[in-house]
Chains A and B, each alone.
Chain A
Amino acid sequence: MFILRSIFVDPWPFWAGGIVIGLLVPLLYYYFNTALGVSTGYGNLVKIFLPAKNLQWIKTKYTETYSWRVYFIIGIILGGLLSAILSGNLGITTEMGRFTAIAGWPAVLNAVFFFVGGILLGLGARIAGGCTSGHSIHGIANLHISSILATIFFIIGGIITANIVRSLFLGGAW
């Protein structure tokens, strides 16, 4: 029972998550000859949810609307759901850690804040050619210089905005 509890209820130690995530890189190559990556699949979602079928980039790059990338995205959502169910944390919550606990903004402003951040993530990932999984995990594991550089600037950007948000809205608390 201890093992089941460690896997499904208690938070994992860093190395357990690292091992599972890291193993995805060779496993996806072995089974599908495909690189680990999530953000490219958001182009499929654009094609599904937004009027974008006439945009050249969508037309040429996303010929198959419901490709494996959409299934990967759905899988990750289901994985989060499964984790919440098994650990007994299932339910819709408006909490987002210290941000909602300390900033005390009305829900509409919180929504705008996370939405704007999401726009930067989506736009930035496409211009950079990948995200944390494609560049930082897959790319660096294959010692790609472009991925090492991209990751350095991911982290610089994150340090800048996280510290601005902390000092402006979270009272410097941590």
Chain B
Amino acid sequence: MDKKLGFLAFGILFGFALSRVGASDYDLIVGMFVGQDYKLVGVMATAIIVGALGMQVLKKFAQPVKSGEPLKISYKELKKWSIAGALLFGFGWGITGACPGTVLAQVGEGKLFGLFTFTGMICGTYIYARLKEKHPDL
């Protein structure tokens, strides 16, 4: 399977699932943070459990992966500022009721203010690129 077309297809599935389950709904995300609606906790917990079980199955029965390479799991290292970054990300999550994946589903659904969250995210990434010039440890 061509990687780009494959990711286009999996992206459609991902966006469709996010939208259908309500992850692109401001009320569900903010409702989770103010302790009124825990549906998304259930979504994330299920996804983590299914993902973890799926990885075990993959390691036991589907190695090497389809291309013949050995499975290579990427690990995100904890850096000096990672926790501060995570907190900033959380601030944005609670304000917008969206995250980098669900905001894309919002844009597809035609939510106008989702487009502003999305534009802000591109600018935030640009700010990171600028900061990184002078602060390589970020």
Spell out A's residues near B (CB within 8 Å): 7, 11-35, 38-39, 42-43, 45-46, 49-50, 52, 55-58, 67-69, 71-84, 87, 89-100, 110-147, 149-166, 174
Q: A117-B117, A131-B101 are in contact. List 11 more A-B contacts (CB 8 A).
A: A24-B14, A27-B10, A29-B71, A35-B74, A38-B104, A57-B132, A75-B15, A120-B92, A127-B81, A153-B89, A162-B95
Contact B51 A120 (CB under 8 A): no
Q: Which residue of A lies closest to B37 (CB)?
A: A174
- Size of the chain B interface, CB-CB below 8 angstroms: 116
Report B-chain residues with C-beta under 8 Å of the C-beta of A39: 100, 121, 125
Using a CB–CB cutoff of 8 Å, the interface residues on chain B facing chain A are: 1, 3-27, 29-34, 36, 39-40, 42-52, 54-55, 57-58, 62, 65-67, 69, 71-79, 81-114, 116-130, 132-133, 138
Tell me if B125 and A154 are in contact (CB < 8 A): no
Q: How far is the CB of A35 from chain B (nearest CB, A)?
A: 4
A146 neighbours in B (Cβ, 8 Å):
75-78, 82
Which chain A residue lies CB-closest to B39? A14
